């Protein structure tokens, strides 16, 4: 008899047209854009599982934020006692049903039944991209306009700021980036920034210095190699794929 199989998938997306990584409550769907999770779950449903479809996303990016690599797990049971999909077939099938979206599955793993994409992640890495010295966003290449923060009247052409941690607070990377830029532009003093940090209160943070979503990318979600072993894999034998995608 066919049983449920738990899969971990890595996926990437351009976040401009989505409300964020996770799906919205039903009452908000008519008012806002759908989340990346909505489209992923639609693609899984197109494969006709016996069980209800529900993805657990590892990293909840905001509306307009992009991902070179996010991850999620879900359970899948095939009909008519068919064997589980192989990882490669699952990736191919999901991408077929996602071809109308700016979302792509890059890797899949069969994992243990108690694996959790969010809680077992060792770290997340974000990169914030800042285009400098461009007088107007129209001077940026078309593919870059929604993928960086354009700062004018500077001489350095481009910066990338990298942030890595096990987890992040809501808008934390955008707040840190905005604070760095505000100090550099002398819109906020180091003394004031120190006061904000010591307050440990998000309400104390000046709202006009949060960096926009469009420059932020989730680039990596890392796991222990042992967590990515297929339940069918012998002990001590590892997948030949690197954990970070």
Positions annotated as catalytic residues are 62
For residues 41 and 34, give the distance between their C-alpha atoms in angstroms, rounded to a whole number.
12
Crossing angle of helices 190-199 and 172-184, in 10° steps, is 160
> Quick check: 45 and 53 in contact, CB under 8 A?
yes
> Quick check: 214 and 148 in contact, CB under 8 A?
yes
Question: Is 15 in a helix, a strand, or coil?
Answer: helix
Name residue 129's beta-bridge partners. Answer: 160
For residues 230 and 245, give the distance between their C-alpha atoms in angstroms, rounded to a whole number.
17
Residue 64, number of CB atoms within 10 A of its CB = 19
226 token code pair: 């042992």
29 token code pair: 């769907």
Count of alpha carbons within 13 angstroms of residue 15, beta-carbon side = 27
Tell me the pairing of strands 123-132 and 158-165: antiparallel
Backbone angles phi, psi at 189, to 5 degrees: -85, 160
135 torsion bin: left (phi>0), alpha (psi -120 to 50), beta (else)? alpha
For residues 210 and 177, give the distance between their C-alpha atoms in angstroms, rounded to a whole number.
7
């Amino acid at each position: 008899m066919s049983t449920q199989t738990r899969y971990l998938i890595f996926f990437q997306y351009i976040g401009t047209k989505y409300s964020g990584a996770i799906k919205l409550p039903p009452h908000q769907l008519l008012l806002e854009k759908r989340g990346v999770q909505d489209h992923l779950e639609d693609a899984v449903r197109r494969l006709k599982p016996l069980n209800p479809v529900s993805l657990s996303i590892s990293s909840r990016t905001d509306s307009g934020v992009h991902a070179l690599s996010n991850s999620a797990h879900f359970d899948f049971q095939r009909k008519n006692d068919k064997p589980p999909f192989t990882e490669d077939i699952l990736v191919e099938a999901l991408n077929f049903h996602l071809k109308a979206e700016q979302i792509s599955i890059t890797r899949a793993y069969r994992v243990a039944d108690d694996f959790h994409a969010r809680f077992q992640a060792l770290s997340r890495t974000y990169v914030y991209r800042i285009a400098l010295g461009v007088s107007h966003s129209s001077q940026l290449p078309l593919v870059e306009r929604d993928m960086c923060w354009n700062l004018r009247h500077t001489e350095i052409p481009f910066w990338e700021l990298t942030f890595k941690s096990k987890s992040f607070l809501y808008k934390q990377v955008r707040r840190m980036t905005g604070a760095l830029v505000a100090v550099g532009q002398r819109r906020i003093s180091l003394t004031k920034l120190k006061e904000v940090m010591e307050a440990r209160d998000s309400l104390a943070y000046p709202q006009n210095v949060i960096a926009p979503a469009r420059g932020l990318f989730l680039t990596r979600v890392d796991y222990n190699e042992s967590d990515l072993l297929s339940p069918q894999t012998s002990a001590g034998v590892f997948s030949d794929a690197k954990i970070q995608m």
